[in-house]
């Protein structure tokens, strides 16, 4: 029931800054770390613990907008302020989980920033509607994204190769992101679509459009089998990590597993953004696919079910009940 809260964060023994500063991550902090860069003001964006990759990305985007409005120099610290993606050993020559996937938004390294005179460390706060602003592609947020967010080139090169190998394109392939696992019972989260809701959307598109393939993104192995069973060879997907247990996404013993989970998710999202049409439920991944898409004809068809109860026990019982109800009656 509470599996999604059982993830373990790997902690480092050596930090660039005192542990007290890291432990005070919920609050805005202002520090003088040394004599360097006296005329510059740095804004360190941190998200200790955090959430999924795209939740973290939207969070950073929010703080990049803040630093831009205030004329500060942004740098992202997911080295001292650790989350679910941090590895024990370096990945791509870094221990900063942000740099596993993205370039720093400025040319300054953390080591240099933490020897500087004027350093502001972000608190654990966000604009209340920051996800909605990203979903609707607000102009100011979009400008910030284009200015600061640069995906690492090695990941983009891998995307291009995978896209070619899949032999899909935006005209003959529909994207499907079916979020499952802990979304079935997480309090105050949108309930995922049932199989009948997914089937209805896909069947209509396959009948009315010249669509021959389905590119499926799901972290739930049961959902993968459901789609494969009904649509057979039409279904294209990557061999990404999937599990029925949320805790496996950060605790599994695969080499560089945490990094790979984030990379696989990012690659799938980029591929989805290159298509014309996406069927999905409400999630940070689908929101960001829409946000990063450069396709003017991109259409996102969201299946919006009611949010789950705020009570964990009620959520669990509701999910258990739906798991036994036939799909024709609204079960999963």
Q: What is the tens place of the pLDDT at every residue in 279-319?
A: 998 888 888 898 899 888 899 999 887 777 677 777 777 76
125 and 214 fall within a common domain = no
Query: φ, ψ for residue 249 (rounded to 5)?
Result: -75, -15
Largest CA distance in the chain: 68
For residues 213 and 206, give the distance between their C-alpha atoms in angstroms, rounded to a whole number: 9
**Residue 233, number of CB atoms within 10 A of its CB:** 8
125 and 239 fall within a common domain = no
Structure-model confidence comparison of residues 193 and 272, the more confident one: 272
For residues 175 and 277, give the distance between their C-alpha atoms in angstroms, rounded to a whole number: 6
Q: Which residues pair with 300 in a beta bridge?
A: 278
132 and 166 fall within a common domain = no
pLDDT of residue 1: 46
Task: Answer whether 241's CB lies under 8 Å from 201's CB.
Answer: no
pLDDT of residue 330: 66
CA atoms within 13 A on the CB side of 119: 25
pLDDT of 5 strictly over 60? no
pLDDT of residue 128: 66
CA nearest to 302, candidates 208, 132, 176, 187 = 176
> What is the pLDDT averaged over residues 49-76?
93
162 and 252 fall within a common domain = yes
217 and 103 fall within a common domain = no
**Residue 27, number of CB atoms within 10 A of its CB:** 10
203 and 181 fall within a common domain = yes
- Please state, for a pLDDT cut of 70, what percent of the chain lies above it: 89
Q: If pLDDT is split at 50, 70 and 90, which confidence band does 181 have?
A: low
Number of domains in the chain: 2
Taking the CA atoms of the chain, what radius of gyration do you get in angstroms?
21
For residues 191 and 319, give the distance between their C-alpha atoms in angstroms, rounded to a whole number: 9
**CATH number of the domain encompassing residue 173:** 3.40.50
174 and 122 fall within a common domain = no
**Domain boundary pick from 118, 148, 178:** 148
116 and 224 fall within a common domain = no
132 and 162 fall within a common domain = no
DSSP result, 233-290: GGEE-------S-TTHHHH--STTHHHHHHHHHHHHHHHHHTSSEEEEES-HHHHHHH
190 and 323 fall within a common domain = yes
pLDDT of residue 246: 72
Tens-digit pLDDT profile for residues 81-135: 999 999 999 999 999 999 999 999 999 999 999 999 999 999 988 766 766 667 6
93 and 140 fall within a common domain = yes
Residue 233's domain comprises 153-329
Angle of CA points 138, 25, 32, to nearest 5°: 100
First to last CA, the chain: 17
**Domain boundary pick from 148, 172, 193:** 148
Task: Answer whether 241's CB lies under 8 Å from 257's CB.
Answer: yes
Place of tokens 């997911």: 78
203 and 142 fall within a common domain = no
Task: Answer whether 228's CB lies under 8 Å from 235's CB.
Answer: yes
**Domain boundary pick from 148, 181, 197:** 148
């Amino acid at each position: 029931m509470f599996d999604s809260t059982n993830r373990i964060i790997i902690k480092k023994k050596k930090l660039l800054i005192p542990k007290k500063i890291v432990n005070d991550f919920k609050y805005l902090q202002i520090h003088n770390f040394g004599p360097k860069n006296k005329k510059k003001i740095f804004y360190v964006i941190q998200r200790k613990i955090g959430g999924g990759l795209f939740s973290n990305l939207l969070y950073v985007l929010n703080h990049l907008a803040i630093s831009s409005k205030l004329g500060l120099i942004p740098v992202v610290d997911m080295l001292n302020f650790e989350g679910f993606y941090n590895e024990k050993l370096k990945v791509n020559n870094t221990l900063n989980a942000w740099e596993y996937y993205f370039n720093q938004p400025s040319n300054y390294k953390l080591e240099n920033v933490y020897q500087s005179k004027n350093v502001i460390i972000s608190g654990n706060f966000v604009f209340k509607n920051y996800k909605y602003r990203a979903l609707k592609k607000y102009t100011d947020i979009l400008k910030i994204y284009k200015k600061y967010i640069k995906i690492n080139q090695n990941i983009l090169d891998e995307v291009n190769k995978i896209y070619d190998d899949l032999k899909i394109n935006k005209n003959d392939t529909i994207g499907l992101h079916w979020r499952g696992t802990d979304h079935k019972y997480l309090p105050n989260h949108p309930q995922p679509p049932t199989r009948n809701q997914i089937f209805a959307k896909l069947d209509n598109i396959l009948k009315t459009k010249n669509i021959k393939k389905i590119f499926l993104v799901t972290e739930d192995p049961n959902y993968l089998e459901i789609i494969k069973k009904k649509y057979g060879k039409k279904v294209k997907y990557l061999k990404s990590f999937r599990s029925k247990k949320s805790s496996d996404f950060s605790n599994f013993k695969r080499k560089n597993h945490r990094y790979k989970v984030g990379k696989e998710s990012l690659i799938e999202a980029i591929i989805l953004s290159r298509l014309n049409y996406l069927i999905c439920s409400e999630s940070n991944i689908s929101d960001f696919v829409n946000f990063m898409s450069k396709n003017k004809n991109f259409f996102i068809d969201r299946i919006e079910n009611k949010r789950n109860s705020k009570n964990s026990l009620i959520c669990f019982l509701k999910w258990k009940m739906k798991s036994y109800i036939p799909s024709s009656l609204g079960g999963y």
